[in-house]
Structure 1
Amino acid sequence: MPGRLIFSAISSLDGYVADADGKFDWSVPDEEVHAFVNDLERPIGTYLYGRRMYDVLVAWETIDDPTPVARDFAQIWRAADKVVYSRTLEAPCSARTRIEPEFDPDAVRALKAAAGRDLSVGGPELAAEALRAGLVDELQLFLSPVVVGGGTRALPEGMRLGLALRAERRFGNGVVFLRYDVENGD
């Protein structure tokens, strides 16, 4: 069975992954949310990242956090393959990582078809390209109990998608998780 491409994001209630100043400290998951994220990430075999998302997450390559939930995530992240789309990054800073200069929807379709595990697309700009190409099969949104009033949107403007709600969960810190299948995806 081919792999599914999943876009997962933590956003403000008004739909932003970062505020107008580029800050996202309000989105840091607590232990309960982080453990849930770990369980969602565990089946991912390949991460597709834009340069900025990779620059944020590559820290997990060397993080030696004493908390069990952080250690677990670091192991999950290190075990997966990564494809980073960048015209400027010359060499990866993590194992199991390759650099691609351009996002090629046909290459991602082939990657999905050959994958034995699910894939994840990280970062709103790269996810927008994958959504527009009809490649995303599932959206996983974590809505944080904060309104930031502007910044980097989690989902692209000017796009209409049919979605089917498949799961929801409310956490003690006020975060709400929503999982949707994309009905008109690839």
Structure 2
Amino acid sequence: MKTEKEKMLAGELYDPMDAQLLAERGRARTLLKLLNDSDPSAKEKRAGILHGLFGVQSDVFIEPPFYCDYGTNIRFGTNVFMNFNCVVLDVAAVTIGDFVLCGPNVQIYTASHPMDAALRRRGLECGAPVTIAADVWIGGGVIICPGVTIGPGSVIGAGSVVTRSVPEGVFAAGNPCRVIRPISLFA
């Protein structure tokens, strides 16, 4: 029989009030408080907190405040930048490629709820992974919904709500986000 965590990571319905999941979210909250309250000059301390939060060394620069559910379900490439007030709901895998830039207030959601009201009343949740490929720039205030993939080199305009996957090398914007045009080398 699967644990609630195994169900969560598999994208199945799970109980978020499970003791293991509550403990893991509590651990993340403690580390996030340390990160968000840390002195900007305490680079080594911040690096240690991020290592504890994500479970691996990462080459990510995060401007606090930063928020996430678990941290351990987020994987960063090299030279990733996340501006102030980013939120990552990582009940499923979040993969962020090399040289990704996230503006302030970017929100990445893998968490979702069933459409069926009876299941929602039971408190069940589900999730779907999000993948952001290398060299993507995500403008400020963008919301990325569960199950979305953003292709390499694409740019997502500020304030967009990304409900569907975005192909490689395009500028996409709006609510819902849609492809506006391809990106040329000097655009």
- TM score, norm. by length of structure 1: 0.24
* Larger helix share, 1 or 2: 1
Answer 1 or 2: higher relative contact order, Cα 8 Å, separation at least 6. Answer: 1
- TM score, norm. by length of structure 2: 0.24
